[in-house]
A and B are shown apart, each in its own frame.
Chain A
Amino acid sequence: MRLYLELARTSFQQQFAYRAATLAGLFTNSIFGVMIASIFIAFYRSQGNDTVASWTPDQTVTLIWINQSLLMTVFIWGWWEVTRSIQSGAIVSELLKPFDYFSYWLSRDLGRAVAHFLLRGIPTFTVGAIFFDLLRPAGVAAAFGFLGSVTLAVMISFCLRFLSNLAGFWVLDHRGVSMMYVAIFNFFSGMLAPLDFLPDTVQTIARFLPFQAVLMVPNEIYLGRMPIWQGLGVQAIWIVLLTLLVKRILRAGEQKLVVQGG
């Protein structure tokens, strides 16, 4: 356990080294936040600012900013460390080391997520609150529920990323997998719009997929649209299922692994 805490701590500290990158990222997230929120505000104006698909204008705009703020914390895109080490063959020595390979990366990822929540999440949301009327958490319980839910969301997102990385055992070039993953995630996670705006069939499919547990659930808890325990429960189930799946596939991959050279 001490090892994993130490791993999380160093990965947390690493993030503080990239000051310019942090500012640049904050700028980019903010521009996108302002843009997407403006689109929704214009849409709502055509409807006399009424509630649409059970979402008020303020709730929708708040969701957009929470999504932009959480983007880096849940770190949806661009993590291919495992694929890269499969490609380079480094995975062999990594698997031999006396720690659990999955827990090794998970603890590093949790450390990174805490840093990104502080460095990117809170500042982005603050920018949003300056330019738009963002809602506060539905209550004290909702606020704490939200923090818990974000933590679980990071773990789900990590499992999903880890899974798509493991595709590297079977596919040599990860770019195709990466594109597919982004496409599916964007559509089913509620990242571009609250899921309730999508056609009914899509919503039904989305509810049975893990992607909405990464963004929609934290949002619904924050806004008080979903009982806290229900949201956390759904997320917990996904973590258990995905972890089991990861371990299985990792084992299958190890069996299949052929490394060239010595």
Chain B
Amino acid sequence: MDKVADFRNDLAVALRIALLRIRGQMQYRASFWMQIVGNFFVNIAEVLVTWSLFQHFDNLGGWSLEEVILLHGLAMVTFSLGDTLSNGVQSVPQMIREGTFDRNLVRPMSVYLQSVVSEVSARHFGHLTQGVLLLGIGLATAPIEWSVGRIAYLPVIILSGTAFFTALFTVEAIFAFWTVNGVEAVNAFTYGGSDLGQYPLHIFRRGLRLIFLWLVPIGFMTYYPALYLLDRADPLGLPRAASFVAPLAALLFCLVIRFGWRAALRRYTSTGS
């Protein structure tokens, strides 16, 4: 069998495992719905605060509420899709500590895919639902001059962002192969990054902008594509092409992470027993 067929096979198995896991969670019905609703409200709280602030303030760095909502939507949809896809990978550090990671290495299936489906959590649907709602509101109310280009680019933005966040959430797992201490710092980039991606990049200080554009390219996933959708000039002075870098930046980022993941696997020695 060639590699492509192998991968397709793995994917089918992974999908079945994922569905089983969700069915398992639905057995605890109260908790299942509380998680979804809770997850929906965690982020609603943040959006309500943003809305309240706009009742007191005129604009945010020149952006209106509708435009900021559009950014919120873009960041939330891509973040929650990436978060859902990588939920199992996020539990790799725990598997390493407990020594249960080893079994993933001996099964005839991609180690990464196995990690992905080792934990599938329904709670993310709450976040995703809300992201989709916000994105819808943003797209409908923000001043966008729709064109073929803009319509065609929208799915590209979502796919790139999803790939980017999935890769970003893998970073913590990669670190865990070396050290279990200090992985909390990764939160600054994942949760911090998605929060930052919800606001116009130019309101932040230079240091933050450099980190979240050139090291962790969240700025290229939400802010710059939004500039194109809204037909806004870039106050930071990058060329117009910066709005279309998203797929390329996501691809590059994924390749770097893939390299890191492989290096981590090669290095892995079990915790024993």
Residues of A within 8 A of B (CB): 18-21, 23-25, 27-28, 31-32, 34-35, 38-39, 41-47, 52-53, 131, 171-184, 186-187, 192-193, 197-199, 202
Contacts and interface: CB of A to CB of B under 8 A. Distances in A.
B205 A38 contact: yes
A53 B183 CA distance: 39
Q: Among the interface residues B33, B56, B58, B199, which one has the most CB atoms of the partner chain A within 10 A?
A: B56
A198 B79 CA distance: 26
A27 B57 contact: no
A175 B175 CA distance: 25
Interface stretch (B3-11, B36-44, B242-250): B36-44
B179 interface: yes
Interface in B130-180: 179
A172 B28 contact: yes
22 contacts: A18-B181, A20-B182, A21-B181, A24-B185, A25-B184, A25-B185, A31-B188, A32-B195, A35-B192, A41-B203, A43-B53, A46-B62, A52-B56, A171-B34, A176-B38, A179-B34, A183-B41, A183-B45, A184-B41, A192-B49, A193-B53, A198-B49
A175 B35 contact: yes
B60 interface: yes
B179 A47 contact: no
Given A24-B184, A173-B28, A187-B48, A179 B56 contact: no
Contacts of A23: 182, 185
A27 B45 contact: no
Given A24-B183, A24-B185, A34-B208, A46 B203 contact: no
Given A32-B192, A46-B59, A47-B58, A171 B31 contact: yes
B53 A179 contact: no
A18 B204 CA distance: 31
Nearest to A188: B45
Contacts of B204: 34-35, 38
Q: Among the interface residues B30, B32, B188, B204, which one has the most CB atoms of the partner chain A within 10 A?
A: B188
B208 A43 contact: no
A184 B184 CA distance: 24
Closest 10 CB pairs of A and B: A179-B38, A176-B34, A20-B181, A24-B185, A42-B203, A183-B41, A173-B31, A20-B182, A24-B182, A187-B45
B199 A39 contact: yes
Contacts of B199: 39
Contacts of B42: 179, 182-183, 186
B188 A193 contact: no
Q: Among the interface residues A28, A32, A35, A178, which one has the most CB atoms of the partner chain B within 10 A?
A: A35
Nearest to A52: B56
B176 to A, nearest CB: 13
B123 interface: yes
A193 B47 CA distance: 12
Contact of B39 (A177, A179, A184, A187): A179
A176 B31 CA distance: 5
Contacts of B273: none
A172 B31 contact: yes
B182 A179 contact: no
Contacts of B269: none
